[in-house]
Structure 1
């Protein structure tokens, strides 16, 4: 029954994942496959529009998806201390992210395809966030302390895990990108909200 559920999840995902269009393929295959993709900036009107757009699911079995995943990692590694990146930040409105796993030994970078947060804790932490696509912007944000995440890998295998702490914050930030949510806009929307004070945010050392 478990295997059947996984196959159904993959089948539904493949149906929902439309083929990459010519513009997306052009970006993914531009230049060397061993080079980083340019990171989009809000200071450019066209790039800003892409960053504000909704992302759709991607076929994990499409060979171009693997190329995108590989080049996104190189883009993240090309930054000065970036801890996560989402496909819209390289011009592709598809559901792919990279996250540095501070909750694992060695703090590895890991990719996630079609990630979904299926549960968030009501307990929130407040802490600083910046964004690779928003120059000179940093502020304090509330995020759920614990999340339940589901995603697939490049073989189409489904995974599910509980993530907490600073790594959970990175996931929430990057998945926001898939919905066209930027922290600069998020701060404006949160101005009228009230939150209960909680434990100090776990900062990077």
Structure 2
């Protein structure tokens, strides 16, 4: 009986942890909900603190999640050149990202709720990255060339995909944001590691 009660309490804690706080709901619904939320910047000390916090899972079916997803997309589009954004970048520490799918026809923008990387390739890509929240910063980063990712949509449906190339890099960058990892800090840790160049080949028909 006690074990059953403990499991119920644990389930309650986990599920209630997905509920939005009053402060989050107020921020997500602030102003006209059909407009973009502002993109947070590291230059602002309070906004920087939010960007460094770890995010919590969101309830895909919560109406507040839908509003947040929509306003995040508008925020991303307002940047003109951005290819991805994470919820902390609009002030909400929830596990939601938008990415441009360069791996799909017409390169659409897609959202991912509670994304998790299940597997990463040992083969790495080295390429330039910038960040919408960090002004005038750009450097070269190593990222896995291929990842397996799991996420949910607004209907609560779970998806699992193998993603590679630039889209995989964007996803890894945005998922770092959900753990409070910024590329300005990541570059310092990367400098302490050693990387071996590996040549890749493909079959010629």
Same fold (TM over 0.5): yes
Q: 1:95 to 1:199 in 2, by over 3 A?
A: farther
Does the residue aligned with 1:39 lie in a helix, a strand or coil?
A: coil
RMSD: 1.6
Structure 2 match to 1:39: 39
Structure 1 match to 2:184: 184
Where in structure 2 are there 5+ consecutive unaligned residues? Answer: 1-10, 201-205
Structure 1 match to 2:104: 104
Structure 2 match to 1:5: none
Structure 2 match to 1:26: 26
Structure 1 residue 16: deviation in Å? Answer: 6.8
Q: Residue 17 of structure 1 contacts residue 59 of structure 1 at CA under 8 Å; is this kept in 2?
A: no
- Looking at CA atoms only, which structure, 1 or 2, has the larger radius of gyration? 2
Structure 1 moving runs of 4+ over 2 Å? 14-18
Question: Does 2:172 align with 1:166?
Answer: no
Give CA-to-partner distance per residue, 1:162-184, whole Å, 9 cap, x none.
00000000000000000000000
Where in structure 1 are there 5+ consecutive unaligned residues? Answer: 1-10, 201-205
Structure 2 match to 1:68: 68
Q: Residue 101 of structure 1 contacts residue 110 of structure 1 at CA under 8 Å; is this kept in 2?
A: yes
TM-score, normalised by the number of residues in structure 1: 0.89
2-structure distance, mates of 1:140, 1:81: 18
Aligned residues: 189
